[in-house]
Structure 1
Amino acid sequence: MLDAMKRYAPQVRLLLATTFTLTLARAITLPYLVVYLSENFALDVSGIGLIIGGALIVASLLSLYGGYLIDTLRSFTVIIVSTLTFTVAFIGAVISRELGLFFICLVLINLALAVVTIAAKAGFCALLPLEQRGEVFAIKYTLNNVAYAVGPFIGVALVMFDYHWPFLLSALLGLAMCLCYRRWGERSARTQLDDSPQAGFLSVGVQMIRDRRLIYFTLGGALSAVVFGQFTAYLSQYLVVTSNASEAARYISYLVATNAVTVIALQYVIGRRISTRRLIPWLMAGMTLFLVGLLGFSMAQSLLAWCLAMVVFTLGEIIVIPAEYMFIDSIAPEHLRGVYYGAQNLSNLGAALGPVICGFALAHLVPMATFYLLIGAVLLAALFYYLGARTSPRQVEQAVTER
């Protein structure tokens, strides 16, 4: 993977470094965020979930407009402002004594990261030929998982010295990337390829709603995110109900490690082989692996069985995420790449709903029903993916050929 990165232009490597660093900064605060909210604002578990989940939902909705700004303004300007906002928001989170201000800071952190990620995706498509995009998407996702694997350990170590340090280090990392991008970023880069007037945000929104392929794939992505977006949350809920808290914590630690090792080891190897011309077979393969993994969870009676099911489940995740990116790339008009990727980012709404749906199932149905509901979400996601590819197939093929 490192050898492949050396072949890319400096601007591509800078975008990869920027998204990796900001993701690492976000991951550093994850393990302590729940404790921080509990100790500083005296929130119970439901209140903490509402704050964290609500911030993610609001940021996901606002990122749609962030994608529009990427299409309208220079990406250099958007990334500089976003990384600076990311830095200021972490500082604000440290000094805030009001829950409302802390919530706003969380929204800004999630929003800034989402906008930079959208800008990076649009930048990859502008800087790379079609045949190289699958590989760079796989590299980006692998680096994200490295960040989420390493970041929590850094955060836990810093908390031992002072509970402010994780937030301050995250702010410093954001500032460092802001300065680096200001020094080496491409100032003339802009997604829009001509000087024609840019349509207003509402007009663009109407155009997107009329694109049934985008609507179907956004729905498919949201349903997929219900399954893999926050799998640790609903698996923890299930294990606590079916065993006990200490056993659940032990199992989850092994499952998270299994997921991280599988992604880091195989994401690049598999992701670079996903071709634009066979996206639907790849997506259906990913959906099938999700189904097998969920069935494995529902029948697992030992730690080894849980880990084996997690390997299969993670293979589905490895396939689906880059395949989704590439399909959106194949249908997005050149001047609307940012806002199309912003629409894809709405799949985070599904990730936020996953633990809620599973919590309802565990509270009102038999525990096994949790996995049956998730299997239903996978089947619906596969249907929407199929409908998205089937709708106007000539247009999709033409878009792929032109690129």
Structure 2
Amino acid sequence: MLATLRHYPSTLNLLLSASLVLTLARAITLPYLVIYLAGNFGLSVADIGLVIGSTLIIGSLLSLYGGFLVDRMSSYRLILTFCGVFTAGFLGAFVAPELWLFYGCLVSVNLAYSVIDIAVKSAFASLVPVDQRGEVFSIKYTLTNIGYAVGPFVGAGLAGIDMSLPFLMSAGLGAGFFFIYFVWGDRRLATGETGEKIPFLAVGRVLLRDYRLVCFTLGGVLSAVVFGQFTAYLSQYLVVTTTPQATYEIISTLVATNALMVIGLQYSLGKRITHKHLNLWLAGGLGMFALGLGGFALSTTLMFWAVSMAVFTVGEIIVFPAEYMFIDNIAPRHLRGMYYAAQNLSNVGAALGPVLCGFVLATQPAHYIFYLLVLFVLAGGLLYFLGVSLAGGVTTAAD
């Protein structure tokens, strides 16, 4: 992967570094939100879940307009603007004395992160030939996971000194990237300025008429219930079925297994995923999700949990770039931002996962959550395959 990065132009490497730096900034803070919200604002576990989940959903919904801006504005100005919003959000969270202000800062961080992510993915289409985009998406996802793997350890060290310091560190990383991009960013980079200018609501109607996108977006929402917040629902399941000590040991092992698998395999496997045979790749990835869930349901030892997590992670490694490739394949050049913003709505499914599993755990036998999750895999897969079939199986990217 490093050899490949050395051959990329500096503009592309700078965009990829945004995924690493901003994800690291986010990962430093997010794992400690539960403790911070409980300690500083006295929230219950239910209220904390509502705060974290709703800020993620609101940020994702608002990013639809961010995608519209990606198709209208210079990428340089847009990335700088939302990098400033990202930094200000963490600074605001650091000093916020009231819950409502802290809540607004979390929404700002999630919104800014989503819009920058949309801008970066849209820029790939302008900078990278079609047959190389799968490789670039895989590098991006690998760097994102490195950020998520390293961030919590940095946050743990800072939180041990003071619980508010992770927010300050995250703001510092955002400010650092703002300065780097201000100096070295490509001011000429544009992703969607050549097409017809359509008002925001009219663009929404255009997207709703693209049944390929509708099917794939809904499939992404349903699938994200399964893989978007898997540590959350597995923690809920383990708290109900085992001891707190066992829960901590198993979850720590699963997080480490997932991170090592993604960092080790994402690039080598993901670069092989192309537009050709996309439906077969998706079938394989979703099948791995189902097998992993079956393994979780049957796991009785730490080794069994780790092996099941490894199988589950292979599904994640396949499905993420496959989703990107499909959207890249069907998006018109002048609407790429909006198409990627629609794909980001899968965050709604990620936020709903722990809520739905919590309801099942409260009302049904604990292992029923895995039946529910397999149903979401099947339903998401049907919508994916319907979207692919509507696209004619293999299509040419719309440029």
TM-score by length of structure 1 reads 0.97
Mapped to 1, the partners of 2:98 and 2:378 lie a distance apart of 43
Amino acid at match of 1:386: F
Partner of 2:64: 64
Partner of 1:34: 34
Asked if 1:43 is matched to 2:43, the reply is yes
Mapped to 2, the partners of 1:245 and 1:163 lie a distance apart of 23
Mapped to 1, the partners of 2:107 and 2:40 lie a distance apart of 18
SS of 1:240's equivalent? Answer: helix
Matches for 1:237-252 after TM superposition, within 5 Å: 237-252=236-251
Mapped to 2, the partners of 1:307 and 1:197 lie a distance apart of 51
Partner of 1:80: 80
Structure 1 residue 255: Cα displacement: 0.7
Mapped to 1, the partners of 2:196 and 2:362 lie a distance apart of 53
Gap runs ≥5 in structure 1: none
Asked if 1:171 is matched to 2:194, the reply is no
Matches for 1:195-344 after TM superposition, within 5 Å: 197-344=196-343
Mapped to 2, the partners of 1:66 and 1:213 lie a distance apart of 21
Structure 1 residue 31: Cα displacement: 2.7
CA displacement, residues 35-85 of structure 1 (integer Å, 9 cap, x when unaligned): 111111000111111111110000000011100000011111110000001
Matched-pair contact (CA < 8 Å) for 2:86–2:112: yes
Mapped to 1, the partners of 2:330 and 2:131 lie a distance apart of 15
CA displacement, residues 221-247 of structure 1 (integer Å, 9 cap, x when unaligned): 111100000000100111111112221
Mapped to 2, the partners of 1:279 and 1:391 lie a distance apart of 13
Asked if 1:155 is matched to 2:155, the reply is yes
Structure 1 residue 146: Cα displacement: 0.6
SS of 2:162's equivalent? Answer: coil
Structure 1 range deviating more: 180-189 or 83-92: 180-189
Mapped to 2, the partners of 1:101 and 1:289 lie a distance apart of 42
Amino acid at match of 1:204: V
Partner of 1:90: 90
CA displacement, residues 325-348 of structure 1 (integer Å, 9 cap, x when unaligned): 000000000000001000000000
TM-score by length of structure 2 reads 0.98
Identity of aligned residues (%): 54
Partner of 1:385: 384
Mapped to 2, the partners of 1:225 and 1:273 lie a distance apart of 23
Partner of 1:118: 118
Amino acid at match of 1:83: C
Mapped to 2, the partners of 1:250 and 1:197 lie a distance apart of 55
Mapped to 2, the partners of 1:92 and 1:227 lie a distance apart of 32
Gap runs ≥5 in structure 2: none
Mapped to 1, the partners of 2:146 and 2:324 lie a distance apart of 19
Mapped to 1, the partners of 2:128 and 2:230 lie a distance apart of 33
SS of 1:97's equivalent? Answer: coil
CA displacement, residues 99-143 of structure 1 (integer Å, 9 cap, x when unaligned): 111000000001111111110000111100011110110011011
Partner of 2:128: 128
Structure 1 segments of 4 or more deviating over 3 A? none
Asked if 1:372 is matched to 2:371, the reply is yes
Mapped to 1, the partners of 2:265 and 2:208 lie a distance apart of 36
Structure 1 residue 93: Cα displacement: 0.5
CA displacement, residues 157-216 of structure 1 (integer Å, 9 cap, x when unaligned): 11222222211111111011111111111112212242x651000010000000000000
**RMSD value over aligned CA atoms?**
1.1
SS of 1:366's equivalent? Answer: coil
**Distance of aligned partners of 1:133 and 1:392 in 2 relative to their CA distance in 1, 3 Å threshold:** closer
Amino acid at match of 1:298: A
Mapped to 1, the partners of 2:177 and 2:391 lie a distance apart of 41
SS of 2:29's equivalent? Answer: helix
Mapped to 2, the partners of 1:34 and 1:73 lie a distance apart of 36
Mapped to 1, the partners of 2:391 and 2:278 lie a distance apart of 15
CA displacement, residues 366-402 of structure 1 (integer Å, 9 cap, x when unaligned): 11110000000000011001100111418x62x34x6
Partner of 1:351: 350
Structure 1 residue 19: Cα displacement: 1.7
Mapped to 2, the partners of 1:392 and 1:2 lie a distance apart of 34
Amino acid at match of 1:155: G
Mapped to 2, the partners of 1:382 and 1:192 lie a distance apart of 30
Structure 1 residue 299: Cα displacement: 0.9
Amino acid at match of 1:29: T
Structure 1 range deviating more: 246-255 or 328-337: 246-255
Amino acid at match of 1:359: G
Count matched residues. Answer: 399
Mapped to 1, the partners of 2:272 and 2:72 lie a distance apart of 33
Mapped to 1, the partners of 2:297 and 2:221 lie a distance apart of 22
Partner of 2:185: 185
Matched-pair contact (CA < 8 Å) for 2:331–2:339: yes
Mapped to 1, the partners of 2:164 and 2:238 lie a distance apart of 32
Amino acid at match of 1:14: L
